[in-house]
Structure 1
Amino acid sequence: MVRMTRTPLTPDEVAADPIGLDAMLSDDERAVRDRVRAFVDTELRPHLAEWYENAVLPRELLPAFGELGVLGMMLAGDGLPGRSAVEYGLAAAELEAADSGLRTVVSVQGSLAMTAIHTFGTDDQKAQHLTGMAAGHIVGCFGLTEPNAGSDPGSMTTYARRDGDDWVLTGAKRWIGLASIADIAVVWAQTDDGIRGFIVPTDAPGFTATPITAKLSMRASVQCDLTFDDVRLPADALLPGARGLSGPFTCLNSARYGIVWGAMGAARDSLEAARRYALDRVAFERPIAAAQLTQAKLADMTVQVSTGTLLALHLGRLKDQGLLQPHQISIGKLNNVRTAVAVAQSARTILGGNGITGDYSPMRHAQNLESVRTYEGTDEVHALVIGSALTGLPAFR
C-alpha cells in the first residue's frame, strides 16, 4: 500500500479554507464565488469605509450587481440568472464579507421584490418588470413592516379598498429597504379579501418615501418610511397569486436563507481582519498572534465560522433538492447571525483601540449585524418558529 505524502498547508491556506470547503463545492459553485469575490475586492472594498461613514449607497451599484448576475439569482426564466441556492448563498457570503448593507440590496431586490412578482404575478407583470430588475435597471422595494407591525405583520393597518375597477391604498410602512431609489414597490395591505400584494409605482401621486437617516447600523444602505395617501392603483396592480401572509412569508424565507450565508461572510471577514492584525501587531517584543489568549480567540472564531458555514451549505443543498423547511431556515438564521455577532465582537477585541476606526471591518460588521439580527425575524421570532415545529404548539400569542 502506497501512502501519499501531503505538503503541509501554510497558515494562509489554513485560514482561507480551514475545513476543506472547496472540496465540497462544484466547479460552477467555486466559479460563482470567485467571480463575486473578485468584484467585491476591486469594486466595493476600496469604498466601504467612505460609504459607511457618509451613509451613501450609490444607485449605480444596482446595474453593476445586475451585470454580476446576483439580482434574482435563484429565479429562472427569460433574462433571469437561474442559479442554484448554493451558488446564491456563496454570492451572499462574499457580498456580506464586504458589508451587510450591500448584501441587503441584493436581497431586497431579488429575494423580496423580484420573488414576489415571479411567484405571484401575472405573465404581463413578470414581462414588464423582471428582466429590467435582474439587470438592475428597474429597482424594487418590499413594503411589509409597519411602525406598529413588525414581528406581527398580520396586524398591519395599511389598507387597499376597491373603488370601481381601481384600488385605493392608504397607510404607512417602516424600515423599507431601497424605497427612496426604487421605481416600484411591492406593498402588502389589508383588503376586504384579506392580505394582498400590489405593485405600486413609486411616482404614483400620494406615495412618499422618506429615508431614515439617524442610523448607527447599515449605513451603506437605504431604509425608509413609506406613506400612502390615497394612492390610486389600476386593477392590474394586484398580484393575483398571493392571498394572506403566505405570500410575503414565501419571500421572507428566501431572504432569510440568504442571511444564513451572508452572516458567515461578515464573520469570516472579521476573523481574517483580526488574524492579519494579530500577525502584524507587535507587543512585548513579539506578534500578539503568538499569545495564547489571542490564539484561543482565533481558534474559537474559526470553529464558529466553520460550523456556521457547514450549516449554510447543508441548508443550501436541501433547498436545491426542494426539501428545505421553514423551521430549518430559522435554525440557520438564528444560529448564524448570533454567531456572526459574537465573532465580529471578539475580532474587534484583538484589534484593540484601532478596532474602533473605519480602517478595520469587525466593528462595522458588528454594528451592521445588529440590524441583520433584527430584520427578517428577530431571535425571539425564530426561536418560536423552531419551538412550534418541535411541539406543535404555536406560542406567538
Structure 2
Amino acid sequence: MSSPSLTRFVRSSLEELKQNGLFNQIDALQGGNGPTIRIKDRSLINLSSNNYLGLASDERLIAAAEKALRQYGVGAGAVRTINGTMEIHGELEAKLARFKQTESAIAYQSGFNCNMAAISAVMDAGDAILSDELNHASIIDGCRLSKAKVIRYKHSDMEELERVARAARESGQYAKIMVITDGVFSMDGDIAKLPEIVAIAERYDLITYVDDAHGSGVLGEGAGTVKHFGLSDRVDFQIGTLSKAIGVVGGYVAGKQELIEWLKARSRPFLFSTATPPAIAAACVAALDILMDSTELQARLWRNAEYFRQGLEQLGFRTGHTETPIIPCIIGEEKQTQRFSRELLAEGVYAKAIVFPTVPKGLGRIRNMPTAAHTTAMLDEALAVYGKVKKRIGLE
C-alpha cells in the first residue's frame, strides 16, 4: 500500500502540470530513431531527434557493435578500475583524444555523468564556478555536487562575465575559479563566445570548461566548437556526448594527460559505475572513424538545417538567434505551444513542444532538429504542415 502523503503529492503535482500545459507525454517508437519514425503504426517525419548525422542506424556502426558483442560479450562485468576496462575502451579514449586534438580523454556512461563527475572531481568548497545562466541541467547539478560557490552570469554577456571574474579573483576568497559554458546552447541553438571567454579566463586565471554536447560532430569539421574557434590548446575541459552526432550513447572528457589521470582516480561515476558495454564502445569508435575520414555528413546536415530554417522564416515563424542545426520555432504561451505540437503530430510531423521549466515562461517553442538523413522532400512536407497548422490555429 502506498503512503497516503506520497499519493496526494504525486496526484496533485501531476494535475498541476496538466492544467498548466507542462505535462510531457512519452511516446514509444516502433523501430529506429531516423528521419522518419513509427509511433502507434503511423509513419511520421521526425524533427525531434539529436541523431544529427543519421549514424544511429548506420550499418557500419551496427557491424562494429555486432563484432564486439561476439568478442567481449554483452556487458563489461565490472567498474573500469577493477577489471571492467577492455581494449576497446582504451581504443575509444585514444580515438576521442585524436578527434578533439587533446593529449588524452576519458569515457563515461553518459554525457550527464561527465558533468557530475568532472566538476566535482576538481572543484570543492572554497572554490567558485562562473556559470552561464542557460547552461544545461547536468552542469547545474554538477556544480551543486561540487559544493563550490556558483556565480551565474547573464547568457553570453561578456561584460558581466569579466566583472564577476574580476570580483571573484580580487576577493581572494577562492582557491580555484572555473568558468563553465555550453559550446552550443540546446534550446536556442546559439554558440558560446569562446574566444572572449578564453581571453577573460587567461586574464584572471580561470579554469575553462566547455560542454560541447551539441557542437561535437557538428561544428569545427566535426571536432566541435572549441576546434571551430581554433582553441583546442587553450581550453582545459572539453566535454562531449556520444549520444547525439556520434549516434550511440555515452560521454567523455578530453584534456591534458594529467587531468585525465586525476579524473580516472577521483571522479565518482568512473569509479563506481560498471563500464560502458563493449559493443557500445566499438560503435562509437566506428562513428569517430567516419567523422575523421570525411565531412560529407556535416555538409549535408548544414544544408538541410539552413533550408529548413529559411522555410520556417518565410512562413513567418520566429527562429530566434540560432546559429546551428537546432532551430527553435518560438510559439510563446505554454498551452498554445503544446497544442501546436499536437496539431503537427496529427498531420504527420513529430516535433515536440519545449516549455517551462526547460525554457522561460512565455517562450515555449517547437525545437526542430533537421538531420543529415532528411531528404528535401521530407523537409518540404514538414514545412507545408507548419504552414497549414499556423493558419488553422490563427497564430500571428
Q: Greater RCO between the two (CA within 8 Å, min separation 6)? A: 2
TM, length-normalised to structure 1 = 0.23
